[in-house]
Structure 1
Amino acid sequence: MSDVKYEKPTINKIEFAMASKYGSPLKTQNIRTEIDGVSVNELTEKYGSPIFVFSQRQIEEKYNTLYSAFSSRYPDVTFGWSYKTNYLNEICKVFHNLGSIAEVVSEFEYQKARALGIEGKDIIFNGPYKPYEDLKIAVQEGAKIHVDNLFELNDLEKIADELGMKIPVAIRINMDTGTYPQWSRFGFNYESGDAYEAIKRMYDGGKMYLNGIHSHIGTFMLDANAYKVATTKIMQLKAQVENDFNAEIEYIDLGGGFASKSNLKGVYQSADVIVPTADDYAQAITDAIYVNNKSEKLPKLYLETGRAMIDEAGYLLTSVHGYKRFPDGKKGYILDAGVNLLYTSTWYNFNIELDKHYEGENEPSMLNGPLCMNIDVIEEHLMLPALDRGSVLTISPVGAYNYTQSMQFIRYKPAVVLIDTEGKARLIKEVDDLATVNYKEV
């Protein structure tokens, strides 16, 4: 006769008449046993837990869907892979092999792109802070410099004198697109005339000329029409500059911000309902270009979308370490992954899936991470059956920003696995250890 583990009984009130704030019905279990044919249990057994897992198949499908939506409507479009979204070397290589150039926002990311073999001419250098020497290198290597502020203009004028050259640059602008909050921190404002005055200064100084106009209006944008407004204003500024300075603007850049199928906290409609399609975004942008184009030649179109192409291809596998009862009767599970790895848990309700079917009814539960921090909560209200120590949970979508923003705090950063298009898993980043953390200490 096997021993039966005793657990003190508890009473939890469950409302049946309406949707509970805890979500799932009593007997419903969301289960994921594999990712692209590879068992989640085998992945954790081989590579450890927690572990990030990326699907190359899903990355390529997302890329091809989005690229097709734009290229079928517009003759000259190029994607720039947003390094800040996920700068793992093997992930960047997948996007570059698909045809993306690099979009970077720091000297670190610029150096990373160059180390991966991306030429300067195929790098878009964005961001509000570009160190002088790194900005000079980018100019020398022919990178697409997107000017953010007047101090950067000062630096570029000095660099032009040092190098004895006239520098082609793009300008980043911000504007009112009818959405809130307005991203006014980056670039020069369109409505106030600051953007035009900065461009005028470029031409008055004679050390730079404008070859591009860029705007990134926000993140997780649920209104495709906002891109129509942004594109219209960019095209109007383009026409004004070309007329006033006898210039030719080579390209426009609409940035990124396209939403993935993540579920926002505080939004009760499914992402499948509220997130625009690739066609919605593409139609809004390309229509506005055609309607507002005043020159004989159409501008080249750049896009820097990151989240929409990687988020749903990323998973975090985490294991149950233990559990406890809280004073209110709720069950609290302790996982080996927490907010140190899931930065975006502040904004999104993740999909939580079990590695198999568990016997018994669901009960109100909380998922806590391993950190000695009261804020380390992955999910505060979830209906779960009784889970065992070692049970594997799959958390998704987590492909965008979670790895790049994960913290080396209390615990080592985990390994990362990429499952290729043939369904083979390979390690693309080893788990950190003490040497990783201390190698620069003196």
Structure 2
Amino acid sequence: MDEQLEPNKINVAGHLTIGGVDATELAHQYGTPLIAYDVAAIRQQFRRFNKVFEENQVEYEVSYASKAFATVGMFQVVAQEKGHIDVVSGGELYTAIKAGFPMDKISFHGNNKSRAELEMAVEHQIGVVIVDNFHEIELLSEILEQKKQTMNVMIRITPGISAHTHKYDQTGQEDSKFGFDIQSGQAEEALKQILTNPRMTMIGIHTHIGSQIFEVEGFVMAANKLVDLAADWHDKFDLDTQVLNVGGGFGIRYTKEDDPIAPEKFVDAIIKAVQKRVGQRDLKMPAIWIEPGRSIVGPAGYSLYTIGSRKDVPGLLPYVTVDGGMGDNIRPALYQADYEAVLANRASDKNEETVRIAGKYCESGDILIQKQALPKSQPGDTLAILATGAYGYSMASNYNRNPRPAVVFVENGQSKLVVKRESYEDLVRLDQDFI
């Protein structure tokens, strides 16, 4: 039994439950690999974020970072929770449109937005474009003039703060592909271009210092830097910054070695830092926006697999192979990300051995978990990897021509298919004959 599992997640049969449904029943009904989300857990995290803002009496938006997991069904849940979403591509924006998501509650990120993507954003009058570079300001200006439209914008800045995380997850340092640097004067030059454009309304400043962060200090430093920049721009340009967007990156627990604080505690520290600094700089209190993704969907997601072959080599850890792998969760191969797993059909049994959980893909690096204590498994057992709700399905591929898995939402003891499993026919649907 895994330490992450609460006793109420195991039913009388000793099986893992997700959203009140037996995980083995989900595996049998929908097949494996399968990604299952406990929808109540998603809703609860939204409500915890909302509560900390409301207790501090601050205007806010909880802007779900949809790159973590973007589907029509997910966006509909966010809308039910009165949330905001952050999209980073035309595809994510199109998904939001298909979901009927309120366009005025969408922000658009990205360091190389295309003309077509910006045209879609303008045509649908989304809430705000978060500008990332001078080319984008010029491109957006041309589109707004052509369409005789206006657009709210924020400026993304790099605050010169490195989060203590994997180097690929660091985005706030000066040497980054994202945003305008403050020190060199780029951020101020971007502001000048926006302020002189009558079709753009400058509403706020954005930063994001990284992902899977466990320490509050970086967020407090970033919040202080945003307030100081807002104060500087108020003095120079008589600009009242309406929004400070501090991004996301709140860490979650993947394994027993992880010891994150509750995501809402990060937010409480950020709010208090902004309130204090605003008072010191004699500014009007702005709204505070956050962009959580992983912390909303990560713990709510489970990857269910069927165990197949096993390889035992004397003196080495056995390989226990499942019917998925790097095609539905690339993070272990890409980031050396760690996870924990349980046998869903024997979740209360004692662990008897330590094994490696291997995927079925034709790569030696397709190892989902390097060391996992489990009861002695058999072919046909259902394995559940925990906390896979973020960046699993959203980064899935058809490598080796394997179909991507189905996704189900589970709530109040009921399950609903929200993404169909791809078929072999789906894999060749866009292929064209050469001969």
TM range (shorter): 0.7 to 0.9
Distance 1:322 1:238, change over 3 A: same
Instruction: Flag the structure with larger Rg.
Output: 1
Residue by residue over 1:142-175, the C-alpha shift from the partner in whole angstroms, topping out at 9 and shown as x without a partner, is: 3201110111112123224323456432100011
CA pair 309-36 structure 1, distance change in 2 beyond 3 A: same
- Give 1:248's aligned residue: 240
Q: Which residue of 1 aligns with 2:410?
A: 419
Q: CA deviation at 1:440?
A: 2.3
Shift of 1:295: 5.8
CA distance in 2, matches of 1:60, 1:407: 28
State the alpha-carbon separation in 1 of the partners of residues 119 and 383 from structure 2.
Answer: 47
- Which residues of 2 match residues 62-101 of structure 1 at below 5 A? 62-101=45-84
Corresponding position: 1:392 with 2:382: yes
Q: Which residue of 1 aligns with 2:138?
A: 154
Instruction: Flag the 1:359–1:257 CA change in 2: closer, same or farther, 3 A.
Output: closer
Question: In the alignment, what sits opposite 1:169?
Answer: 153
The answer to whether the Cα contact below 8 Å between 2:271 and 2:288 also exists between their aligned partners in 1 is no
- How far did 1:383 drift? 3.5
SS at 1:383's partner residue?
A: strand
- Structure 1 residues 314 and 67: CA distance shift in structure 2, 3 A: same
Q: Distance in 1 between matches of 2:120 and 2:314?
A: 60
Contact 1:74 1:286 in 2 (8 A): no
Q: TM-score, normalised by structure 2?
A: 0.87
Q: Kindly tell me: are residues 351 and 237 of structure 1, through their superposed partners in 2, closer, same or farther at Cα, counting changes over 3 Å? A: same
Instruction: Check the 8 A contact 1:81/1:96 in 2, yes or no.
Output: no
**Compared CA separation, residues 136 and 428, structure 1 to 2 (3 A):** closer
Indicate yes or no: 2:48 matched with 1:58.
Answer: no
Q: Distance in 2 between matches of 1:270 and 1:58?
A: 22
Q: Select which of 258, 261, 264 maps to 1:276.
A: 261
Aligned length: 407
Deviates more, 1:303-312 or 1:74-83: 74-83
Aligned-partner SS, 1:111: helix
Matched, 1:235 2:227: yes
Structure 1 segment 202-217 matched on structure 2, within 5 A: 202-204=194-196, 208-217=200-209
Provide the C-alpha distance between the structure 2 equivalents of 1:300 and 1:147, rounded to a whole number of angstroms.
19
Structure 2: tracts of 5 or more residues without a match: 4-9
Give structure 1 stretches of 5+ with no counterpart. 1-22, 25-29, 264-268
Write out aligned runs for 1:29-428 (5 A).
Answer: 32-143=15-126, 144-164=128-148, 167-177=151-161, 179-180=163-164, 181=167, 182-183=170-171, 184-204=176-196, 208-263=200-255, 270-271=257-258, 273=259, 275-293=260-278, 294=281, 297-326=284-313, 328-345=315-332, 346-354=335-343, 355-356=345-346, 362-410=352-400, 411-420=402-411, 422-428=412-418
Residue type of the partner of 1:368?
A
* Equivalent pair of 2:15/2:347 in contact (CA under 8 Å): no
**Does the CA contact (< 8 Å) of 2:63 and 2:85 recur in 1?**
yes
> CA 1:119–1:60 in 2, change beyond 3 Å: closer, same or farther?
closer
User: How far apart are the structure 2 equivalents of 1:323 and 1:400?
Assistant: 28
Following superposition, the deviation at residue 412 of structure 1 comes to: 1.2
Q: Give me the whole-angstrom Cα distance separating, in 1, the residues matched to 2:75 and 2:184.
A: 37
Label 1:378 to 1:204 Cα distance change in 2 as closer, same or farther (>3 A). Answer: same
The Cα RMSD (Å) is 2.4
Answering whether residue 424 of structure 2 is matched by residue 434 of structure 1, we say yes
What whole-Å deviation, never above 9, does each CA across 1:16-71 have from its counterpart, x for those lacking one?
Answer: xxxxxxx99xxxxx975322332222111111122111101111122212221222
AA partner of residue 310 (structure 1): V
Tell me by how many angstroms 1:347 deviates: 3.6
Question: 4+ residue stretches of structure 1 with deviation over 6 A?
Answer: 357-361
Q: Deviations over 1:277-311 (max 9, x none)?
A: 23431232112221222466321222110110111
Would the aligned equivalents of 2:73 and 2:99 in 1 still touch at CA under 8 Å?
Answer: no
Q: Which residue number corresponds to residue 6 of structure 2? A: none
Determine helix, strand or coil for the equivalent of 2:284. Answer: coil
* Gap change, CA 1:393 and 1:147, over 3 Å in 2: same
- More moved, 251-260 vs 285-294: 285-294
The answer to whether the 8 Å contact 2:240/2:284 transfers is no
Change (3 A) 1:429 1:140: closer
Q: Percent identity?
A: 24
Alpha-carbon distance in structure 2 between the residues aligned to 1:44 and 1:201 = 55
Give the secondary structure class of the aligned counterpart of 2:394. coil
**CA distance 1:192–1:338, change in 2 (3 Å):** same
Tell me the distance in 2 between the aligned counterparts of 1:238 and 1:286: 16
- Cα deviation code 1:180-204 (max 9, x no counterpart): 5552221001233221122123335
Q: d(CA) in 2 for partners of 1:158 and 1:368? A: 51
Range 98-107 or range 117-126, more displaced: 117-126
Distance, in Å, in 2 between the alignment partners of 1:50 and 1:106 is 27
For 2:393 and 2:88, the matched residues in 1 are separated by 17
Residues 319 and 355 in structure 2, CA contact (< 8 A), matched pair in contact too: yes
Distance (whole Å) between structure 1 residues aligned to residue 150 and residue 20 of structure 2: 54
The 3 A distance-change label for structure 1 pair 226 and 434 is: same
Residues 193-243 of structure 1: CA deviation (Å, up to 9, x unaligned)? 221122123335665442111111111111112111111111111122223
Once the 2 structures are TM-superposed, how far is the Cα of residue 361 of structure 1 from its aligned partner?
7.4
Change in Cα spacing, 1:374 to 1:211, as seen in structure 2 (3 Å) is: same
SS in 2 for 1:404: helix
Query: In the alignment, residue 391 of structure 2 is paired with which amino acid?
Result: Y
Q: Give the 3 Å change call, closer, same or farther, for CA 252–359 of structure 1 in structure 2.
A: closer
CA-CA distance at 1:270 after TM superposition: 2.9
